[in-house]
Structure 1
Amino acid sequence: MHYWKGLEAVPPGIGPSVVTIGNFDGVHRGHREVLAAVVATARERGAKAIAISFDPHPAQVHRPDAAPELIMGLEDRIETLADEGLDALLMIHYTLEFSKATAEEFVAKIIVGALNACTVVVGHDVRFGIDNSGDFDVMVALGKQYNFDVIGIEDIGDHRRWSSTWVREALNRGEVGTAAQILGRPHRMRGEVVHGAARGRELGFPTANLDPAASGIIPADGVYAGWLVDEAQMRWPAAISVGSNPTFEGVSRQVEAHVIDRPAEGVEDFDLYGQQIVVEFVEHLRPMVAYQGVEALVDQMREDVQRTRTVLLDA
């Protein structure tokens, strides 16, 4: 997939193309239905399959104090969109100045002028242009004016429309299984492994501590079964702790992953410090609680490891 960072990066003479527009936060199953329609239509028409997205998220520009937390970071969004079979992704730097473009200016300059679209594929809830003045009907009217087709995708979901909002709600409740159903894959965080208090190592359960600046929503406090993916793309089963270590009267929230069934050569040869890793959350095991003493905590951690092994390896 070609990645064009800004309109000026789009090569001249691109097209014809089949285009869609969206923030694509999480690239959930609803997004993927739209993207699949874009790719299929492009293949049928001998055109390029292109998505237009925005960074930062428009809400972070217009409502920085009330903007939703992003499900995934930019790197993961680009990587996941590439997996959907697109030919190109145009990432537009979103600013207040850019937001002043009318719906017609957006279509004329970008969809038609830069990308030479023959077809636009969007959900019926699409909004674009200044003050979100452009909607599906406006897109259809502009399609007639500028000679491109518009394909509308109906809302998709089980008992509720798949949406980024629903994913956030599920993660904030610790319901990573529900989030995975909407996303079509486990929720992930990405960040550097940093040094922590080393309590896990002292207790016999060394952990990889994610940098607080890691991308991706932190699920609700608790213990989870999941996977750790290292820089070599090796996937390791892991018991993941999210919280402030209440047994030790911790304050700041941390995400720590303990790899179970480590390599036989031992802990010292399994050094992840400084690596950029991905942590994937598969199943919520228990809430985060304070235990009366270290022995009770260690017993619980042994149980967490066994349950993680059962969820990930013995299913």
Structure 2
Amino acid sequence: MQIWNSLAEVPRDFGPSVVTLGNFDGLHRGHQEVLAQVRAEADTRGAAAVALTFDPHPALIHRPESAPGQIMGLADKLAAMAELGLDGVLVVPYTLEFAAQTPEEFVRSVFVETLGACTVVVGQDVRFGKGNSGDLSTMVELGGELGFDVVVVNDEGHDRRWSSTWVREALRKGDVDTASAVLGRHHTMSGEVVHGAARGRELGFPTANLSGDACGIIPADGVYAGWLTDTHGHRWPAAISVGSNPTFVGVSRQVEAYVIDRPEEPVEAFNLYGQHVVVEFVQRLRGMVAYTGPEALIEQMHLDVDQARAILD
């Protein structure tokens, strides 16, 4: 899959293409249906299947104080898009200048002149152009004027429309089951493993601590069964702790994963520090609880690991 980080990077003779647009945060099942339609239309027309997305998320430019947390980072989103069979993704740097284009200016410059679109695939609620003034009827009108077809993906038939908002709501509650159902896969976070306070190691449960700038929404505090995938592609079962660990004073909120039944030797082969890992949330085991002391906490941690092992086995 080709990735272009500006309009200027797209080859001048590119096209014909079937194009869609969106933020695609989380790349949930609704997004997947749209991209599957793009792929199918492209195959029918002998064209390239292309998605247009934005970086940063427009909300971070227009209302940074209330912008929603991003379900996944750009690199993770592009990797997931590649798995869906797209030929290319155009990542448009989102600025106030770019946002000031009228719907016609946007469609003409990006879809027609840059990507050579023969078909544009959109949802019924598509909005684009200055102040989101363009809608589905605008797109159809512009298609007639500029020479491309418009295909509308029907997302009716679900009890609730798939959405990034739904995923965020579920994760805020720690409901990773619902998040997985909407995403069509388990929610993940990715980031570098950094040194922590080594408290887990002292308790007999050494953990991989994600850096504070890790990508992905942190779910509600608690303990989860999940997986950790290291830089080398090894996928390990894990018990994942999210929170500040109220049993101890002065601990900041963090995400740390204890690899279950980790290989004992050679120890050097299992050094995760500095590695970029992916943590996958499968099921919530419990909320975060303050225990009377380390002994009670250790007893609970053994129970957590046993339960996680049973779920992941």
**TM-score bracket for this pair, using the shorter chain length:** over 0.9
TM-score, length of structure 2 as denominator length: 0.98
Q: CA deviation at 1:282?
A: 0.4
> 2:172 aligns to what?
172
1:288 and 2:288 are equivalent in the alignment: yes
What secondary structure, in the 3-state scheme, does the structure 1 residue paired with 2:96 have?
coil
Counterparts in 2 of 1:12-23, with a 5 A limit?
Answer: 12-23=12-23
Distance 1:296 1:303 in 2: 11
Distance 2:80 2:157 in 1: 20
Question: Which AA in structure 2 matches 1:302?
Answer: H
Counterparts in 2 of 1:232-311, with a 5 A limit?
Answer: 232-265=232-265, 269-311=269-311
Distance 2:269 2:36 in 1: 43
What secondary structure, in the 3-state scheme, does the structure 2 residue paired with 1:97 have?
helix
Q: How high is the sequence identity, in percent, across the aligned residues? A: 65
Q: 1:267 to 1:176 in 2, by over 3 A?
A: farther
Q: 1:156 to 1:284 in 2, by over 3 A?
A: farther
Any idea what the Cα deviations from partners look like across 1:118-173, whole Å, max 9, x if unmatched? 10000011110000001011000000111111011122574210000000000000
1:75 and 2:75 are equivalent in the alignment: yes
> 2:64 aligns to what?
64
Q: 1:228 to 1:47 in 2, by over 3 A?
A: same
- Contact in 2 for aligned 1:156/1:162 (Cα 8 Å): no
What secondary structure, in the 3-state scheme, does the structure 2 residue paired with 1:113 have?
helix
Where do 5+ consecutive residues of structure 2 fail to align? none
> 1:97 aligns to what?
97
1:191 and 2:207 are equivalent in the alignment: no
Where do 5+ consecutive residues of structure 1 fail to align? none
Any idea what the Cα deviations from partners look like across 1:177-208, whole Å, max 9, x if unmatched? 11011001110101000000101111110000
Distance 2:154 2:14 in 1: 29
Counterparts in 2 of 1:182-221, with a 5 A limit?
Answer: 182-221=182-221
Question: Which AA in structure 1 matches 2:208?
Answer: A
> 1:29 aligns to what?
29
Q: CA deviation at 1:238?
A: 0.3
Counterparts in 2 of 1:30-179, with a 5 A limit?
Answer: 30-155=30-155, 158-179=158-179
Distance 2:266 2:242 in 1: 25
Question: Which AA in structure 2 matches 1:78?
Answer: L
Distance 2:74 2:175 in 1: 23
- Contact in 2 for aligned 1:30/1:156 (Cα 8 Å): no
Distance 1:38 1:247 in 2: 51
Any idea what the Cα deviations from partners look like across 1:10-37, whole Å, max 9, x if unmatched? 0011111000000000000000000000
Distance 2:121 2:269 in 1: 50
Q: CA deviation at 1:264?
A: 3.5
Q: CA deviation at 1:267?
A: 5.0
What secondary structure, in the 3-state scheme, does the structure 2 residue paired with 1:91 have?
strand
Any idea what the Cα deviations from partners look like across 1:258-304, whole Å, max 9, x if unmatched? 00011131656421000000001000000000001111100100000
Question: Which AA in structure 2 matches 1:32?
Answer: Q
Q: 1:156 to 1:85 in 2, by over 3 A?
A: farther
What secondary structure, in the 3-state scheme, does the structure 2 residue paired with 1:241 have?
strand
Query: Once superposed, what is the RMSD of the aligned Cα atoms?
Result: 1.0
Question: Which AA in structure 2 matches 1:219?
Answer: P
Distance 1:161 1:221 in 2: 27
Q: CA deviation at 1:250?
A: 3.5
What secondary structure, in the 3-state scheme, does the structure 2 residue paired with 1:246 have?
coil
Q: 1:218 to 1:106 in 2, by over 3 A?
A: same
Any idea what the Cα deviations from partners look like across 1:24-79, whole Å, max 9, x if unmatched? 00000000000000001100110000000000000000000010110001110111
Q: CA deviation at 1:251?
A: 4.0
TM-score, length of structure 1 as denominator length: 0.98
Distance 2:52 2:98 in 1: 14
Aligned length: 313
Distance 1:144 1:37 in 2: 21
- Contact in 2 for aligned 1:34/1:153 (Cα 8 Å): yes
Question: Which AA in structure 2 matches 1:301?
Answer: M
Distance 1:252 1:140 in 2: 51
Any idea what the Cα deviations from partners look like across 1:210-262, whole Å, max 9, x if unmatched? 00110100000000000000000110000000000110124421000000011
